[in-house]
Amino acid sequence: MHGSVMLTATVVILVSVAVFAYLYAPPFVSAFHSNWQQKSAPTTATLRADESSIKEAMIEYVQSMLLDGPKGRHELFTDKFLDASEADESIIPKVNSVQIDQPVIAFSSPETARVRFSQIVRMQNGVRRSQERFLFKRTGGGRWKIDQRASQPVMGSSPDHAFGKNVFLYVKSEDEKSRDRRKIEKLVALWKDARANADIDSVLNVYGTDIWERQGTSKEMWLERFTKPQNISVTNVNIVYPHQLQAEVTLNERIDGSHKQTHNDVRLVLELSDHGWLITDEQSQTLSEQIVQPMTILPKPASIAKAETVPKPASVHQTKNTAAVASKPRPTTKKVANGASAESKPGVVKVAAAERDEADIIKALVHGWATAWSKKNLEVYLGFYSRRFDPGSGVSFEQWRKHRAARIAKPRYIDVKVREIQVKQQSPENAKVSFIQFYRSDTYQDKALKTLTLARESGEWKIAGEYSSTL
């Protein structure tokens, strides 16, 4: 009897435990698991901050390749990495330019992250393409440093300027920028000579392939302006880089026709393509026109002609020649920027000794930004923005980037014009620019007052903030 009671009590206890476990254990276990996760797993905000820090370290790594050489690498690599290297100088070679695609970052733990990306390094003796794998470790003070690095060369014959669709960073050395400037000066000279000689093939070689479409005309109609030779001279050439892959050229142009002399203010937008620098947009504003009357030579009466055959004293002869020269009509010489004369020998391109001031550089940036937006060139458009750009409303830069890519890709065409640009430089490193923006697409159009706040990064102005109000 006693054994039966004990068995019954045991069964009751087991059933009670089972019922309790069924009713209460799942929420308890779930809450415990969730609490453990919160304590051990980093938050989304922490991951974003760490990703941003790693990307900043990658930017420093690229800049050290171009500028610092061996100096400063102790700030980029862990002691373990440096100890495993035979010499600091062998870690990174001196290069002309570096391009890396968007990195893929995977965190192994809160203190380690694996990063992989494609890299193109251009050196004086060639181009090296590779797939890079880095192991980053968090060191004292929370700084992320490179602890391990593996590089796999990629063989291929893609062009030097075959840029990817997902470029994270493209930086040039000062020497490379100087070479680019010389190439652009040569392109401007070719542009002038091709138009002067009505050389259609050379014209097509200096322009982008779709420039006539952006100007709203056909290729045949666009080429009609180049069918006749012209006497063209170019002066006051200024080159500004709103972006590493884009340049803006402004110049004064004089065209001498048989009956008219025209002075134009010309703006060219150039982009770096697979074939080098090409003109992708062109704007011209006529500054002045002057009608040149041809000289009419009347037949002289026989008596006067006979009288002129009589020798005259040298002083009289010289006086007549002087008067004849003075009587010839001359076109008025127009003074242009920097005090230089618009009169110049054909074929001579002069580059202004002094760079345009900061206001002009910022205005060029705004024009380049609007042009890239109009062309739906995401790579160039997004390149105008700082990595520290704050979209607001708690949105991360990457989320904003994806949103902008979708918004820009949706319309069939986009046309953005900017007017009344006002620049206010607040400090050597910060500026503000305001302007009237005219936006038009196949689905929407508006007019707005746009303000951009700018910050200088590595010597270049980048958009750090953007504000708009509809007019």
pLDDT, one tens digit per residue, over 384-433 is 999 888 877 677 888 888 888 888 888 888 889 998 898 988 888 899 99
Compute the distance between CA of residue 356 and CA of residue 340 in angstroms, rounded to an integer: 15
Helix or strand (DSSP H, E) at 384: none
Q: Which amino acid type is present at position 19?
A: V
pLDDT value for 355: 36
Compute the distance between CA of residue 406 and CA of residue 396 in angstroms, rounded to an integer: 16
Q: Are 144 and 161 in contact (CB under 8 A)?
A: no
Beta-bridge mates of residue 416: 439
Compute the distance between CA of residue 258 and CA of residue 175 in angstroms, rounded to an integer: 44
HSE toward the beta carbon, residue 37, CA cutoff 13 A: 8
Domains of the chain: 45-172 (3.10.450.50), 179-294+331-339 (3.10.450.50), 358-470 (3.10.450.50)
pLDDT of residue 133 exceeding 50, the answer is: yes
∠ at Cα 331 (330, 337), nearest 5°?
A: 135
Listed residue (368, 389, 366, 367) closest to 465, CA to CA: 389
The CA distances from residue 362 to 220, 280, 447, in Å, are 36, 20, 21
More confident position, 345 or 265: 265
pLDDT value for 115: 92
pLDDT, one tens digit per residue, over 86-117 is 444 444 556 778 888 878 999 988 889 999 98
Listed residue (381, 429, 369, 435) closest to 405, CA to CA: 381
Count the Cβ atoms, other than its own, within 10 Å of residue 283. 14
Q: Is 267 helix (H, G, I), strand (E, B) or coil?
A: strand
pLDDT of residue 321 exceeding 60, the answer is: no
Q: Is 350 helix (H, G, I), strand (E, B) or coil?
A: coil
pLDDT, one tens digit per residue, over 11-37 is 667 766 665 555 555 554 454 444 444
- 34-48, 145-159, 228-242, 441-455: the lowest-pLDDT one: 34-48
Compute the distance between CA of residue 460 and CA of residue 384 in angstroms, rounded to an integer: 10
Beta-bridge mates of residue 123: 126
Please give the model's pTM, rounded to 2 decimal places.
0.43
Listed residue (326, 354, 330) closest to 340, CA to CA: 354
Tokens of 420: 């009344």
Determine the straight-line distance between the first and last CA of the chain, rounded to whole angstroms.
Answer: 95
Listed residue (298, 220, 287) closest to 250, CA to CA: 287
**Tokens 């001579």 sit on residue:** 348
